[in-house]
Each structure stands twice: as structure tokens, then as C-alpha cells.
Structure 1
Amino acid sequence: MSCTPSSPSTCADCTHDHSNTTGPGLADIEDYRTELSTLRARTRELEDELSKHVQTTTPPLQTTPTPLLRSAKWFSRPDDKALSALYIDRYLNYGLTIEELSSNKPIIGIANSGSDLAPCNQHHVVLAKRVREGIRSAGGIAIEFPTHPIQESSRRPTATLDRNLSYLTLVELLSGYPFDGVVLLTGCDKTTPACLMAAATVNVPALVMNVGPMLNGYVKRGRGLVGSGTVVWKGREMHARGEVGDEGLMELITAGTPSVGHCNTLGTASTMNALAEALGMALPGSAAIPAPYRERAQCAYKTGLQIVEMVHADRKPSDIMTREAFENAIVANTAIGGSTNAPIHLCAIAKHMGVELDLDDWDRIGYHIPLMLNVQPAGEFLCEEYYRAGGLPAIMAELLDQGKLHGDALTCTGKSIKENVQGKYTWDRETIKSYDEPMKTDAGFIHLKGNLFDSAIMKTSVISEEFREEFLENPEDANAFECKAVVFDGPEDYNARINTADIDERTILVMRGTGPIGYPGAAEVVNMTAPGHLLKKGLKYSLPCIGDGRQSGTSGSPSILNASPEAAENGNLAILKDGDMLRVDLTKRRVDMLISAEEIEQRRKELLANGGYQVVESHTPFQDLFRRETGPLSEGMVFKRAVRFQRVAQTFPSPRDNH
């Protein structure tokens, strides 16, 4: 050790010679060399002493090479450099570099369902930019591409046709191009199941990010909330009663769609995006964020970050969408008052994932769950209130506390459902009711059978007090009723005869020829408005409806839907006649024609002798293909031969080369 030459004192162990106090006070360089040698020697002594007391040694650091990603089979081909160049070269045309594409960075697809043709999802044109920035920030490379557009409100004859078409095209894109993972930009009704079905089939890391619901709609010059979709069915009744004219009806309905985004009610769009979150395939809390809110764009960025992490962790749909995850989704659907289309879509996703799920599961797991969310059509508020009240995590936190969820189910974050939602309770008990004091108890779907059909469902959460009082509260026959049927062969027949047919307050309206094969595509036409003369007399409830088609998720009608086999497959709906008596027993889960077995058999013989139930002809090649390939609504309406293709990215890890 040394000290400053100017110090007149002598320090202990100091090697500086203080005798030379004249001159400039500069130290001799040799003094420092001697001191350094002494320090080095002492350091070696201490190291040797320490080593005698340390018995373990640290092994040399082992480095594991980063595994090659799926995209390397395109862009990093040591066996064929020419093919690598071929696969790379056109991606350079918009600014990517060879170094980026061949560096084993995750190639992330952005499957964008937004376009001018699909206005509910059009905001994704903006949101995709934030997804891209998140991917880039996490070290990935984003490649955006369009999916087949699906717009529920304008596609004719029905957007359900597009679900399976979009699924097919997305499977081809994800399996045939160099994607290591994909962000699925969803929103409007069928876009979410189509994307999840494809993700299940291909099984590369995938993450859903929906566009978000619209802002609340309001009555002009008033304070009442106007919910998109739901207002259509209310507006029709008001128009039939003469309460609004043509212009007033247009103004009322369009007031429900005030901004970008999908329906602001708990229709099929909000339902399916909530179920994507409940499955673990979307970021926690993401489903309910309104489209224009800044949190939606922030969610897009976080989604981009998360998908890159999922690729590095190799966290695939098969790791997330397990049987337990589907059961969680069923429970969540009841608690939020989800759409009657959810069983169709969730069963379809499960089939493509290789998970057994049927409508008996929906009844068994979901029926006894209470309705907790006070949002239209089952409640009074809209999705802005839902989001501010805590969104889906606030509901699932209470379901978790009640032991109704599989808390250890894995999610996209790598954490469990329990870790994601525990303790995230609501502060708003107007919008989200408690589990013990819900809006309704036993609010799930009922799976019905009988001699009219083998399978159909009924949404109990939208049964009004007026409907219950009229049809379900007979003390001698509780939860059951018998009514005459009036049968319509499609919406054209309904529109022509609704105001002239023999219909009273105790009539069941039956819609047939509207299933997957009959329409084709299973149109949303089963929820039928009562005739004008009954509405003008003050009818306070929806007439009971039965059909082999579907109804809008925004409808508040307690219809019996998705009847299988449909009339077009010569199910017994095809032999029902005007005036036949039907018995509906919700406790026994049955719907029966009150005619003899002999009469049923005779009618069936006549039906088949006349060539079976007649349907409209197909208008396009795909409609014809759809009719030949699709299964019934009770089994998810999937293409029957498509479900044998499972985990394509693992079964066929390297698609055949194209040159």
C-alpha cells in the first residue's frame, strides 16, 4: 500500500520513502512495481487458502444450441441453398433482409380478418400495426396476411357458410407457409371459431386478439342504452305495433352501432371472444376491451410480445385447449349469458383439437351455473360497463372461488387460469352480480330430445318472467307446456303467412328447412316475431319458437334451436303439420309430437315416397360442397372428413418442396 508523497506521516505497511521530502515529490516507479508484486503474491496466497476450504467446483458453462424453428425448413436449408434462396427472395422485395430471414428468428403470421367488406373487424387494419410492433420488439418477424372475410350482418344466405370456408383456407396458409406462430385477429361472430378451429388443426403456437366491442349505443334525444343486434328484434316488434315508422326504425337500429368494433351486446361475437379467453387462447382481460379504447391498441402490442414468447416456449394449442379448458369455457359461457351459437362453435373447435365434447356436457357442466353478467340480451347494460366492471377475469375469479373452474388449466401466458384471475373481483355489483346473488340461478343451456328431434338446445337465461308465467308455472305441470304448432318452410314462408296464419297467444312457431343442409348453412331465422295483431293487443312475451336453424346471439327469444336431424335430412320436423300439438317438458328435457307412433310412421312413409323434404337448390359451388361435407349442428357443423387431420404441423413437420 502507498500514500501520497506530500503526507509527512508514515503509514503502516507503507513502502514509500518519506526521507526524500525535497523536490517535486514524485515517487520512484520501482517502488510501485515492488508494491504490485507484493500484492499479487498475497492474492495468490489467499486464493490457495480459499481453495482448501471449497470442496465443490463449478462445471464449465454448457451452451445448448437454439433449436431450429419451423421456418428454418424454408429459409435455412443447408442441404439445398438454391431452395433457401427461392423461398427467401420474394420476401426481400418489401424490405426484409436475408440476414433476418435466415437468422432463426420467429416468423409470426398476423391473420387479419379486417377489411372494408367486414366492417365489424375493419379496425384490425389499424390494430395490426401495434401487433407487428410487439412482434418486432420481442425479436420476431411479422408477416401479415388476410383471412377470408366474414360479416354476419351482410353475408347472404348466411355467414355460417364462411366459417368452414375460412377454416379451410387458414389451415392451408398456416401449414403451407413458413410460420412459427400466428396471431389470430378476430371479432365478428364466425371469425373467432374459424381461427380457433384452424389453430387446433395445424397446432402451431397461436394467440387470439379480437377487435373489441363497439362503444355503447344510445337512443337519440334520450338516455336509454341501445344494444347492437338486440335492438333489431325489439325494433321489429315496435314497428309491428305501429310505435315507430320506417324512418324511426332505421334510426333506432343504427343507433346501436356507434363506433368501430363488433356488437356491444353479449351476442355471438362477445361470447366467442370471451370463450377464447376462457380457453386460455387470448390474453387475460382482453376480450371485453372496447375497440376504440387505448387499452385495445396496448393489448395488440402485448399480444405481439406474447406470441414470440410462446414460440420460444413451444406452447401450442394442444397444450392449452385441453378437456379441462373446454369445461372452463362452458362454465364461463353460462355465467356471462353467452350465445346459443357457442355450443356449435365450441364443439367444432374441440373436434378439430381431438377433444371429446357434446351437448350433454353443456347441460351437465353448465346448466346449474348462475347468470352473473347484467348485459343485453339477458340483462340491461352493454360491453363498456362489462369492461369497466372487470371483464371476464372478474367473473372467473368468483367461479374459481366456488370451485367451478379447473384452476390449473394452462393459458397462453404460461401461467394457469388460477394465476391469471385469482383475486380480480369486480367493484361494480350492478353489472357483475355475485355468484351467491346472481341475476338467475340454473342459467345454462338445456339439451332437449324427443320424437320431434334427437337433439336441440334452449337458452334458459333469456326466459322472461312473462314467458315463465304463461308457459312454465302451471302447478300441476311445472316447467312444461302443450301448444299447437304453426309450421313455416323457411323465412319466405314466414314473411308471407305470419299475419294470416291461425296463431294465438299459445302457439308454437316452428321454422324448418333452415339447417346446415336445408338453407344451406343454418341461418339465424328461428327467433320469429309474433304477428302484428297479437303485439297490438299487448302481448308481453315472445312466442315459443322451434327450428332446425339458429338464432342470433343478440336475440332475447327463449327458442328451441339447432334441432337435429334437420328437416332436409328427413328428420321428424319434416312431417310436422300445422295444428299438431307439441309438448315441451324442460324438466325431462323432452319435446314430443302428441301424435301416435302409427301416425308418425305413416307420415314418414309418405315423406320418403315423395322424395323426402325438398330444399332450395345450391346457388354456388361452395354451397354444394358444404351440403355434401358438413355434419349436423349437434356435432359442431364441421366438415366430416376434416376432423381426421390432427396436429398437422407435427404429423407433417416438413411440407413437400414446391420445386
Structure 2
Amino acid sequence: MRSDQAKRGPARAPHRALLKAAGYTDWEIERPWIGLVNSYNALIPGHVHLNRLAAAAKAGIYAAGGLPLEFPVIGVCDGIAMNHLGMKFSLPSRELIADSIEIMAQGHALDGLLLLTNCDKIIPGMAMAAARLNIPSLVVSGGPMMAGRFEGRDIDLSSAFEAVGRHAAGRCSDEELREIEEACCPGCGSCAGMFTANTMNCMMEALGLALPGNGTIPAVDAARDRLAKDAGVAVMELVRAGIRPRDILTPQAFHNAVAADLALGGSTNSALHLPALAHAAGVDLPLDRFDELGRSVPHLCSMSPGGPYHIQDLHRAGGIPALMARLLAGGLARGECLTVTGRSVAENVASRKVRDDEVIRPLDRPYHAQGGLAVLKGNLAPLGSVVKQSAVAEEMLCHTGPARVFDGEEAATEAILAGRIRDGDVVVIRYEGPKGGPGMREMLTPTAALAGQGKDRTVALLTDGRFSGATRGAAVGHVSPEAASGGPIALVQEGDSITVDIPGRRLDLGISPEEWQAREAKRIPKEQAVESPFLNRYRRFVRSGVEGAVLDETPREDVCRKTPFGGKE
């Protein structure tokens, strides 16, 4: 065992003494050491109940002969961080989470990891640590929040953001806004739609890093406690069998995850986190792979924000095992992949059936013939950009309109809420990429405000930043190269014609070659100014959004000095 280097022999008497000071007996110290990484905090609704599940997971580890050694990691609530300085710290927190777990596991010679997680950056950050360390590891989530109810229909957090847009347009009263605020998030768990947190929890299951049910069992269900106990037992089986994350995280496993993501219509953030996890596992997962698979994997689940169903409905319909069984039957998934159960994907889902053909539609009757995500390229996005095409109204799949240009999210949000965006416009928000922001903020507030005003059917939005999984409409993110790295999005001027062609996979700026060259010659590189040593350090190391916004081991210096703007936030 790895832990032997910290506990065996006469030379390790001081080490054992320190463990005994923590209350551990000789016979406990002899057990395999399992790091229980608990991302509990009192801020995130998806995490406030994790101590309950940690107790269940520790019971499982202990019963199966291991010694659970619990330690924490940080977590940012994207909803609370939205539309202010705090969102700049959200994506960078993924790297801190992975680094801190690596430090704890290596510093204490742990034999295995049980990763108790739930929300947006925390899930991939933990999985990235497991892939880097490559010691037996298993992910278990806190589970999804139940949907709220308002006026006879299910609602969720996106309903509140969109209500803000309706309120600004005079279409929602103060009283209705207050009632939605009270009803949309009824209790603990990751927000109820197929937003980023639930997308990534489902991805952990599709990859094979989590037990069946991980993505969909509700947070308040006792089955979630049982799953945590079973996870504790399962991680001990992984330790004994010597099954490691990189045995599971193969190219075929990432094929399964991308296929499941496309069928679910998951968050565009999966196009950041899955490539980042693949990078940590030594697997190449280019952005184009999402588009290649998306042309053959249909969109089978119409989930909020693009559709009427929530995670509780997906669970009732059979969850990710039922979806995987359907994909396997159609030859769209790889059944031979190993999982943390010690069995293959095919073995795990052999007896699973879809229990509601509207929540998980048959392959011959999909919601859309193509998968949920599309990758657009063109003269505005030479390296690529991402859109959740399953959440775009049909009339907006092809759209040409005048550019409304904003250097930063705040200015765009102010214009939208003030009613200054007209039908037909293309809102451009730039200098919000991984380097330029820095931190690649999510743009849920402006996209939800447009949706609340009914303009998700008349206005497109594109950014070198990214979107919440709760975004819907013709919202194109991850435009790369970003403005701060010399991307063409920096050349766009107010009133320019921009074409978004999702079926044609194009994103283009309609100016002449001569005008393009003239603007390029006058371009002055710039980025948003922030008074944060951490963020300024992050921007020196981070790669582009289409590369998963992973960090370089050594910084790449810019050719010329950028001019900061924005000052103190």
C-alpha cells in the first residue's frame, strides 16, 4: 500500500504517534488510508447536506476495512457569484481544487480517494485530481435539487434569472418575482435542470467514475445515503483490485461521456471540463470530437432550460443507465469500458430499461436529429466556439444582424435590462475569456434577461466567455481565440453584420478583407484589469476555452504588452 511509506517500520514511529494523537488505533492505522474529500460548505445549496453523506460514505469505507480520512476543499456557488467580480474566480477554482487534493493525497501517502462533490467546478476539479494521481478513486455526488412549483408548473433557478428580465421589461410584477424567488429552489441539491452541475454528475456516471444513480438520485432521497455507503464499499474494492482512474478514463470512456452529453442536451461547460479531465488523464479530446459525434448522436432528453423536464424526471425514467442502454442498443456507446463497479458499462446497464419514452425518447423519435451541442467556426472563431443548439429556437438557428459590442459583461447587462437591445441584434461580449476576464465568466444574467424579455427568439449573443448550463437561446460561447489573445472578436465594431449559422457550423463577421486588415493594424491588445494576484497569475498560465482552459506548466508570454481597462471593480 502507498500508505506503508508513512506508517511501516521503526523509522515511522513519529508518524504513527501523530496519527494516534488524532485518536487512531494501531489496528486502524494498519488499514488502507482512504481520503474522503468533502466539499461541504454553508454557502452552496448543493453542498449544505454533504456532511450527512460524508458520514454514510465513511461508514461504508470503515465497514469494508478502510480508514476514512476526511479533508475539505473549496467551492464557489456559480449562482451567487453570477454577474459580478466573484464569477471571475469560479473557473480558476477548478485548478485549485485539483491541486489541493493532489497535495493532500501525496503529502499523506493515501491509498485511495472517495470524492464527495456536487457543483459546477468542484466535480471536474475532483475528477482531474483523481486522473492526475491515478490512485483508486470514486466520485459520489450530493445529488440534484427537486424542482420548485409555481402556478402549477415546475420551475428552477433559471426561472428566477429569466423573471428578472421580465421584471425589467414590465412583464413581471414585484409580487410575482418574489413568489418565484421563494419557490424555485425548494431545498438542498444541485439546481434542478440539466445545468452544469447535473451535467457533470451525469458525466461522471457515463465515464464510469461513479456508481449508477450518481447523476440523478435526488439529494433528499434516502437512496442518496445508500449510494454514499455503497461508494465507500466500492472504493475499497477498487483498492483491493488495483483499479485506477486511468484504467477507466480511456478514449472509449470519453466517447461514452460525450455521447451521453449530446443525448442529454447538457451544459456547454462540458466542452470545457471533459477536455480538461481528458488532459489530466493523458487522453486527447479535441473540441471537434463533440461536433463529429453530435452529427450522429441524437438529442433524446428535453431538459430544462431548453425543455420541460428536470433531473427528478430523468431519474424516474431510468436515469443515466437507461440512457446508456438505449445508446448501446443503437451502437452509439462503447459497452466494453470498465467502471468503478469493477464491471463494464454493458454489464452495469444490462437490465436497465427506459420507463418514460418522453423523458428519454427512442432513437427513431428524438427531440432533434443531432446532439445538444454544436461547434461553430468561421472568421470570427477560427479555433471554434460552442452553442447548445438544443436550446435554440428554430427561427434563430440561422441569424444575421448588426453587432452591439460590449467590452465586458456589466455593460451588456445594463443595456439589455434598460431595453436598448433591439430585435435582430447580435450582442457581442468580449474580453471575458480565460485570459481577458480573467477567469471566463458565465453569462447567465444577460442571456436570461434576453429570454425573460422574449428576445431569445430574436437576438443572438456571442462571447469569448462562457455560459451557465441554465442559458438558453442563440448564445455562442468560448469564441476562440479570445479577444485578449488577438482573436478576431476584438475587431468587431458597432453595427457590423454578424452571421450565426448553426446548421452550417459558421460564425462570421461580414466586413471586407481590406477593412479587416485596416482594423488589425490599429488593434491595441487589452484585457480587463483586476486587483487580484491570484487572477493575474492565473491569466499568465491558462490556455484557451477550446483547450479546456487548462493551465500550462510554464507561462507563455504575450508578444506585446496588453492595455488594461475597467480599473477597480
Coarse TM-score class (shorter-chain normalised): over 0.9
Counterpart amino acid of residue 154 in structure 2: L
Q: Once the two structures are superposed, what CA deviation does each residue of 1:260-293 show, in whole Å capped at 9, x if it has no partner?
A: 1111111001100100000000001221000110
Match of 1:142 among 68, 74, 80: 68
Structure 1 CA distance for aligned equivalents of residues 402 and 456 of structure 2: 19
Note if contact 1:498-1:530 (Cα within 8 Å) is conserved in structure 2. no
Q: Once the two structures are superposed, what CA deviation does each residue of 1:98-153 show, in whole Å capped at 9, x if it has no partner?
A: 2321x3x2111100001113332121111100000000111111000001223222
Structure 2 CA distance for aligned equivalents of residues 299 and 489 of structure 1: 46
Residue 388 of structure 2 corresponds to residue 459 of structure 1: yes
Structure 1 CA distance for aligned equivalents of residues 175 and 492 of structure 2: 39
Q: Once the two structures are superposed, what CA deviation does each residue of 1:571-617 show, in whole Å capped at 9, x if it has no partner?
A: 11111101001122334322111111221111111113xxx12x232
Query: Which has more strand, going by share of residues?
Result: 2
**RMSD between superposed Cα atoms in Å:** 2.0
Partner of 2:367: 439
Structure 2 CA distance for aligned equivalents of residues 642 and 323 of structure 1: 26
Partner of 1:559: 475
SS in 1 for 2:37: strand
Note if contact 1:542-1:557 (Cα within 8 Å) is conserved in structure 2. no
Match of 1:294 among 222, 226, 244: 222
Residues matched between the structures, number: 549
Residue 134 of structure 2 corresponds to residue 203 of structure 1: yes
Note if contact 1:498-1:531 (Cα within 8 Å) is conserved in structure 2. yes
SS in 2 for 1:120: coil
Note if contact 1:367-1:445 (Cα within 8 Å) is conserved in structure 2. no
Note if contact 1:212-1:287 (Cα within 8 Å) is conserved in structure 2. yes
Match of 1:507 among 425, 450, 453: 425
Counterpart amino acid of residue 627 in structure 1: R
Match of 2:413 among 495, 517, 521: 495
Counterpart amino acid of residue 108 in structure 1: I
Q: Once the two structures are superposed, what CA deviation does each residue of 1:217-256 show, in whole Å capped at 9, x if it has no partner?
A: 111xx3210122x213421232133232345324313422
Note if contact 1:530-1:542 (Cα within 8 Å) is conserved in structure 2. no
TM-score (norm 1): 0.80
Q: Based on CA coordinates, which of the two structures has the bigger radius of gyration? A: 1
Deviation at 1:528, TM superposition (A): 2.9
Change in Cα spacing, 1:409 to 1:542, as seen in structure 2 (3 Å) is farther
Partner of 1:50: none
Structure 2 CA distance for aligned equivalents of residues 195 and 258 of structure 1: 27
Q: Identify the range of structure 1 (628-637 vs 518-527) with the bigger mean alpha-carbon deviation.
A: 518-527
Structure 2 CA distance for aligned equivalents of residues 320 and 125 of structure 1: 28
Structure 2 CA distance for aligned equivalents of residues 118 and 535 of structure 1: 25
Q: Once the two structures are superposed, what CA deviation does each residue of 1:19-51 show, in whole Å capped at 9, x if it has no partner?
A: xxxxxxxxxxxxxxxxxxxxxxxxxxxxxxxxx
Note if contact 1:280-1:320 (Cα within 8 Å) is conserved in structure 2. yes
The percent identity for this pair of structures is 36
Structure 2 CA distance for aligned equivalents of residues 300 and 530 of structure 1: 35
Counterpart amino acid of residue 314 in structure 2: Y
Residue 186 of structure 2 corresponds to residue 255 of structure 1: no
Note if contact 1:526-1:561 (Cα within 8 Å) is conserved in structure 2. no
Structure 2 counterparts to residues 132-171 of structure 1, below 5 A: 132-155=58-81, 156-158=86-88, 159-171=90-102
Partner of 2:7: 75
Change in Cα spacing, 1:267 to 1:314, as seen in structure 2 (3 Å) is same
Structure 2: unaligned runs, 5 residues or longer: 556-569
Structure 1 CA distance for aligned equivalents of residues 134 and 298 of structure 2: 34
Note if contact 1:212-1:261 (Cα within 8 Å) is conserved in structure 2. yes
Q: Identify the range of structure 1 (195-204 vs 435-444) with the bigger mean alpha-carbon deviation.
A: 435-444
Partner of 2:509: 593
Structure 2 counterparts to residues 163-312 of structure 1, below 5 A: 163-219=94-150, 222-228=151-157, 230-312=158-240
SS in 1 for 2:232: helix
TM-score (norm 2): 0.92
Residue 408 of structure 2 corresponds to residue 486 of structure 1: no
Structure 2 CA distance for aligned equivalents of residues 387 and 588 of structure 1: 34
Partner of 1:393: 321
SS in 2 for 1:157: helix
SS in 1 for 2:46: helix
Q: Identify the range of structure 1 (146-155 vs 591-600) with the bigger mean alpha-carbon deviation.
A: 146-155
Change in Cα spacing, 1:529 to 1:351, as seen in structure 2 (3 Å) is closer
Structure 2 CA distance for aligned equivalents of residues 637 and 194 of structure 1: 12
Q: Identify the range of structure 1 (341-350 vs 597-606) with the bigger mean alpha-carbon deviation.
A: 597-606
Note if contact 2:211-2:231 (Cα within 8 Å) is conserved in structure 1. yes
Q: Identify the range of structure 1 (498-507 vs 109-118) with the bigger mean alpha-carbon deviation.
A: 498-507
Residue 542 of structure 2 corresponds to residue 624 of structure 1: no
Deviation at 1:531, TM superposition (A): 8.1
Structure 1: unaligned runs, 5 residues or longer: 1-68, 473-479, 644-659
Deviation at 1:527, TM superposition (A): 6.7
SS in 1 for 2:254: helix
Partner of 2:50: 124
Change in Cα spacing, 1:619 to 1:483, as seen in structure 2 (3 Å) is same
Note if contact 2:164-2:449 (Cα within 8 Å) is conserved in structure 1. no
Counterpart amino acid of residue 355 in structure 1: V
Change in Cα spacing, 1:296 to 1:217, as seen in structure 2 (3 Å) is same
Change in Cα spacing, 1:545 to 1:132, as seen in structure 2 (3 Å) is same
Q: Identify the range of structure 1 (585-594 vs 328-337) with the bigger mean alpha-carbon deviation.
A: 585-594
Change in Cα spacing, 1:167 to 1:250, as seen in structure 2 (3 Å) is farther
